[in-house]
Amino acid sequence: MTFCLGVKVSEGLVGIADTRITSGSECITARKVSVHERPHGSLFMMTSGLRSVRDKVCTYFEDVLESSDAEFDRLYKAVNALAQQVRRVAEEDRAALETSSLSFNFHALIGGQMEHDREPKLYLLYPQANWVEIGPGTPYVIIGETGYGKPILDRTLKYNDSMQYALKVGCLAFDSTRISATNVDFPLDVVVYKPDTFKMVEHRYEKQDLIDISNWWQERLRESVRLLPSDWTNKMFLRPDDPPGGKATIPINSGGSP
């Protein structure tokens, strides 16, 4: 499984990807985000899905990008070129995969800006090779293991937040996923893009780089639960002889342990 997160806020783009790949009993570390830069355009791509499909689509797409004929003045045109490679691999491999009871599984996040794009763009590409653009209404998308990190993003992330705030929330979403899903883990690759720079900034975080942040966040969550008002819970702890509407006489421990 995979955790890849793309965020578009008013200041720019943030991409976050884990590096754990599980194939049968094999567990390896591999980069899931690639960056492609040109003088007047740059993009990053993150992928999830069946490893053999991902590798083949990415290889074909890199050939397209390296071709002298491939000039994209809008990012959606590069996404369309990637979609063509998805269809190509589907034609070549789908039947054999289905014969082996494997689904043709591939998703991609493509973010960046080309010369004629007025602002940075972020797209989600589906296995059927169609795509949608990510916008201000819901300024993020996760591919791979989506369930564990989504709640904190839905509760806290807004389009007008800063890129630094988006990075913080994104890393906490990854941390929530890492804690609950054994097939998502460090190292963590991060890429950020500011409008009209045509330059991606990349960094890899190891576990030791962020473990203090993870522990800090966990303790703040526990402390918030301890501080949560408890009046509404009193009725669950009344003794049979307590008067209606009275306070609980059974001692209530608001902490997480005796």
DSSP state of 193: E
The mean pLDDT of 169-173, rounded to a whole number, is 98
Q: Decide if 158 contacts 139 (C-beta within 8 A).
A: yes
pLDDT tens string 58-109 = 999 999 999 867 789 999 999 999 999 999 999 999 999 999 999 999 999 9
Percent of the chain surpassing pLDDT 90: 83
Question: What pLDDT shows up at residue 249?
Answer: 58
Bridge partners (DSSP) of residue 201 are 192
Nearest to 17 by CA among 200, 144, 158, 207: 144
Distance separating alpha carbons of residues 18 and 204, to the nearest angstrom? 10
- What count of residues does the chain have? 258
**Structure tokens belonging to residue 87:** 């269809």
Longest CA–CA separation in the chain, Å? 85
**Structure tokens belonging to residue 21:** 């790949």
The mean pLDDT of 101-123, rounded to a whole number, is 97
Q: How far from chain centre, in Å, is Cα 47?
A: 10
pLDDT tens string 207-233 = 999 999 999 999 999 999 999 999 999
For residue 158, the one-letter residue type is K
**Structure tokens belonging to residue 240:** 């049979």
Nearest to 5 by CA among 160, 209, 169: 169
> In a 3-state reduction of DSSP, which class is residue 118?
coil
Using the Cα atoms of residue 213, residue 202, residue 161 and residue 106 in order, give the sign of their dihedral.
negative
pLDDT reading at 205 higher than 50: yes
Distance separating alpha carbons of residues 71 and 78, to the nearest angstrom? 9
Phi, psi (degrees; rounded to nearest 5) at 108: -145, 145
